[in-house]
Amino acid sequence: MMKNITGGVCAPQGFTAAGVKAGIKKSGKEDVTIIFSEVPAAAAAMFTTNAMAAAPVLVSRQAVENGWLRAAVVNSGCANASTGEQGLADAKTMATVAAEALGVEFNDVLVASTGIIGVNLPMDKVTAGIKKASTALSKDGHSKAIKGIMTTDTFTKECAFEFDLDGTKARIAGIAKGAGMIHPNMATMLCFITTDAAISPAVLKAALQECVDVSFHMITVDGDTSTNDMISVMASGQATNKVIDSTKTSVYKEFVAALKEVCIYLAKQVVQDGEGATKFLEIQVKGAASFQDAKKAAMSVAKSPLVKTAFFGQDPNWGRILCAVGYSGAEVDQNKTTLALGGITIVKDGVDAKPDIHALQEVMKERDINVEIQLGQGTAQATVWTCDFSYEYVKINADYST
């Protein structure tokens, strides 16, 4: 059983955090964050697959390689992406400065950046900010830490739970920043998860992959994948459970259930805050020949600008939804395809089910809408979350950067 608790990423035993104002953001808000583990934490992370990966991603991939971390250091306001050799040197300097200030090794530090791309980091400000944050670490630091990773996010995305693990109590928590595409340049999705569960690095890595596959990999705002995306988890091991060292155990399943809840909660929050979003859409594809087919079909619907603008217009335009399923590459048969919006069947076996129009209009007025597509091909299913495309989306993203 998962119980909501306070304390954010500092709720799990062994973690402190801080967020400080370093002057990188023009707004003057918090822009440097450190999340610190008092002991070596088993760690795993997943990074953008974009071939234009930013400098901090390159540095962090190396840092997490051995499965252990002590800290994550993050700046907002500048993504340190498309910055060439200088950018790489700057990302390394961030890790070095943080390691010295915290009394840990260079390779113990995960580095992340978010904000404008193509611009070099103002390293004097970044360095001073890291030093300041390292002296400000505390159990209360979580609320400022979350501010230090935000860019265009309109609300904070945070959760913390206590859960049963192998008969004892453990804690898990996370913060994330949005995939809303960021003025003036581009998207970054960052997520930092802490837990005091005792777990081996290899098993933690498997658990993270398993949970991200059904959470962050199942959301889309506009289909663009950022150069800076990163999701990490650090496990301090200070809960009293016996170290989880196999994926075949029931305790592993307990841990995965908790981690999944954190990942799905934060992933959905990211979509809720999609730029200009007026609708939150849950696209469920059932009866697929395989999970991959179900995901393909659901993602195709979720990414279609035609579908997204129709939901913005509160238009139950089922033709566009079937069309997107049709070109998804999933195995489908139009004569077996059924579609329901908000529980109202509007297409049955590929043709108009002549639903009650008044009831359907009521569904389309809701903020949260469930889209259920039954393919009739097998038993696999997948759920994807997305938002609509509004005037506001175009407005935000058409703004001048220069």
* Residues 319-338 within binding reach of its own copies (CB under 8 A): 319-320, 322-327, 330, 332-335, 337
Question: Which of 11/218 has CB closer to its own copies?
Answer: 218
347 lies in the site for its own copies, by CB under 8 A = yes
306 lies in the site for its own copies, by CB under 8 A = yes
Rule CB under 8 A: choose which of 84, 248, 250, 343 binds its own copies: 84
Which ranges constitute the DSSP H helices of 245-287?
A: 250-272
Rule CB under 8 A: choose which of 186, 212, 251, 363 binds its own copies: 186
Rule CB under 8 A: choose which of 315, 356, 362, 368 binds its own copies: 315
Cβ atoms of residues 383 and 218 within 8 Å: yes
Cβ atoms of residues 110 and 64 within 8 Å: yes
Which ranges constitute the DSSP H helices of 70-200?
A: 84-102, 123-136, 142-147
Q: Are strands 32-47 and 68-78 parallel, antiparallel or unpaired?
A: antiparallel
Question: Which of 124/333 has CB closer to its own copies?
Answer: 333
Compute CA distances 216 → 189, 212, 265, 313, 372, whole Å: 9, 5, 10, 27, 20
227 lies in the site for its own copies, by CB under 8 A = yes
Rule CB under 8 A: choose which of 359, 362, 379, 391 binds its own copies: 391
Question: Which of 6/402 has CB closer to its own copies?
Answer: 402
Which SS3 state, helix, strand or coil, does residue 123 take?
A: helix
Residue 191, phi then psi, degrees to nearest 5: -145, 130
Long-range Cβ pairs for the range 132-137 (8 Å, 24+): 132/20, 132/22, 132/32, 133/18, 133/19, 133/20, 133/32, 133/33, 133/34, 133/73, 134/18, 134/34, 134/36, 134/98, 134/101, 134/102, 135/101, 136/18, 136/20, 137/16, 137/17, 137/18, 137/34, 137/36
238 lies in the site for its own copies, by CB under 8 A = no
Rule CB under 8 A: choose which of 41, 64, 176, 187 binds its own copies: 187
Look-up: residue for tokens 């603008």?
A: 309
The torsion defined by the Cα of 130, 131, 135 and 138, in degrees rounded to 10, comes to: 10
**Catalytic residue positions, numbered:** 188
Using the rule CB under 8 A, give the single segment among 13-21, 59-67, 94-102, 355-363 that binds its own copies.
355-363
Using the rule CB under 8 A, give the single segment among 15-23, 98-106, 112-120, 124-132 that binds its own copies.
112-120
Cβ atoms of residues 81 and 16 within 8 Å: no
117 lies in the site for its own copies, by CB under 8 A = yes
Rule CB under 8 A: choose which of 52, 336, 365, 367 binds its own copies: 52
Rule CB under 8 A: choose which of 38, 105, 349, 362 binds its own copies: 349
224 lies in the site for its own copies, by CB under 8 A = yes
Question: Which of 4/400 has CB closer to its own copies?
Answer: 400
Using the rule CB under 8 A, give the single segment among 153-161, 182-190, 207-215, 258-266 that binds its own copies.
182-190
- Least CB distance from residue 377 to its own copies, whole Å? 11
- Least CB distance from residue 224 to its own copies, whole Å? 5
Strands (E) across 181-271 are located at: 190-195, 219-220, 230-235
401 lies in the site for its own copies, by CB under 8 A = yes
- Least CB distance from residue 29 to its own copies, whole Å? 22
